[in-house]
Structures are given as C-alpha cells and as structure tokens.
Amino acid sequence: MSVLIELLKEKQNRLCSVFFSAGFPQRDDTVKIIKDLDANGVDFIEVGLPYSDPLADGTTIQYSSSVALQNGINLDVIFEQLEAVKDQVSTPLVLMGYLNQVLKYGEQKFCQRCKECGIETVILPDLPMIEYENHYRALFASYGISNVFLITPQTSDKRIRKIDALSDAFIYVVASSSITGAKGEISEEQINYFKRIKAMELSSPLIVGFGISNQSTFDTACSYMNGAIIGSAFINFLDKNGTHSIDAFTKNILGE
C-alpha cells in the first residue's frame, strides 16, 4: 500500500495539499520547495509537470509553466530533482501533468522513473477513462502507481460512481466548471455541488481543487470534503516571495 493511500485511511479530514510547477520560480527551486512544504504541515505535495499546452490550467499556472520551461526544466531534470529529495522528505508526492508528456517521454520509461523517485500517484486530467481501463490501469499497477480522476459539477452520477470504483487513492473534485485559479470565496452553487457529492457516500476520499486560495476557502471546502488543494495562490506567493517564508504561507492556509 502506498504512503499516500495509508495517509488517506488514517486522516480523513482537513487534508491539505499544495501544488506548484517544478522548476518555478527558478529551475533548481523544486527540491527546496518540497522540503519546506514537507516541514510545514502539508499532507501531500502536488508537483506540476510544466507543459506548453496545459488544457486545465489557468493564467497563473500557465505562467509558472512557461517560466519553468524557459528555465530549462524538462522531465529528465524533474525526475533527477525528485530522486535527489526522495530520502529527505516523508510527505507523499503526486505528479500532475498531461498524457502527451507521458507518451512523448515513453510510457514505460515514465513509470520506471516514477518508481525510482518514489512517486506512487499521478494525475493526468486528459487521460480518457476507456484508455485507462484498457491499458494504463494494468501498466500503472505493474509499477505501483495510482491514477487520480477528476470530476466536475457536470459529471454525471453514473460516471462519478464508475470513477469511484476505479479509484484507489482519491477523487479530485474540481470546484467549478473552469480552469484553475483563485476565484474568491466559494459560492452557494459550489456548496450545493459539494453537498450533492458528499450525499453520494462514495468510498474514495474527496479532495477539492481549483479556486482554493486562503484559509476561508480551505475551511469551507473541508467542511464538505476530506481536504483541498491550493495551487494558484501558492504560485502567486512564489512569484512574489521566491522560496522565502513558505512556512508563513502554509500557516496562513491552515490557520496556525
């Protein structure tokens, strides 16, 4: 059983994950950011794989990906960074990227490098469910990798239940039908969506992402779901402060 799956079984509320783009703001900041997040109360860390055509990413994460690519980041460099830090942190790491990156890099090579770096969970928003069932499920399982599916307010109950049956880590609950990015407070419409998903009594943990930007939105999301992911707000913090005072950012989110 992966470290993340064990965590999800042991801690079932107020799970906090932080997303950042590897190689941002500087190419070699990845290790320091992971170590600082690990030391400051984050439950799992989502490492973004910068990509030139990110279909689910808003302006902020597109910007950080663009800067990272200009910095010379690529999958080989990212895997080297992850391998360098894997024995220095205990917080589970999750990779979030796009299927084309895996295909271009080589499916077997990608999975092997994940295994060597201690990566046991990936999020590929554009991976079709049928492709997962027919091919990637067995491939990922052979390397001890779990896949995370996303759901949105438009996802049918039938598809949600199928995703629940296919999931062995968590379900990524997209807070709104939009791209990533901080959007202020959570709306009544979103709360009704969270209530609908919660009422389905799914077996998988539910982690909210897209639009979680401060303590208030984190607390609201966690009152309905098992936890939340903060992305664009942290990218903005890094853009302004570099890798300084990451502890202040996490304390602000967690209210400590």
Show Cβ contacts of residue 43 under 8 Å, excluding neighbours closer than 6 positions.
7, 11, 15, 16, 17, 91, 92, 227
Show Cβ contacts of residue 252 under 8 Å, excluding neighbours closer than 6 positions.
214, 215
| Active-site annotation holder among 36, 43, 57, 120 | 57
**Strand 15-21 versus strand 44-48 pairing type:** parallel
Q: How far apart are CA 141 and CA 168, in angstroms?
A: 11
CA pseudo-torsion sign 211, 163, 54, 119: positive
Alpha-carbon 164 to chain mean position:
17
Sort 8 into a burial class: Cβ within 10 Å, 0-12 / 13-18 / 19+: buried
Instruction: Evaluate whether 180 touches 174 at the Cβ level (below 8 Å).
Output: no
**Strand 150-151 versus strand 227-230 pairing type:** unpaired
Residue whose structure tokens are 């190419």: 27
| Active-site annotation holder among 36, 38, 46, 120 | 46
Which residues sit opposite 171 in a β-bridge?
Answer: 206
Tokens matching residue 57: 């990413």
Which residues sit opposite 148 in a β-bridge?
Answer: 123
Active-site residue flag, 83: no
Active-site residue flag, 239: no
Catalytically active residues, by annotation? 46, 57
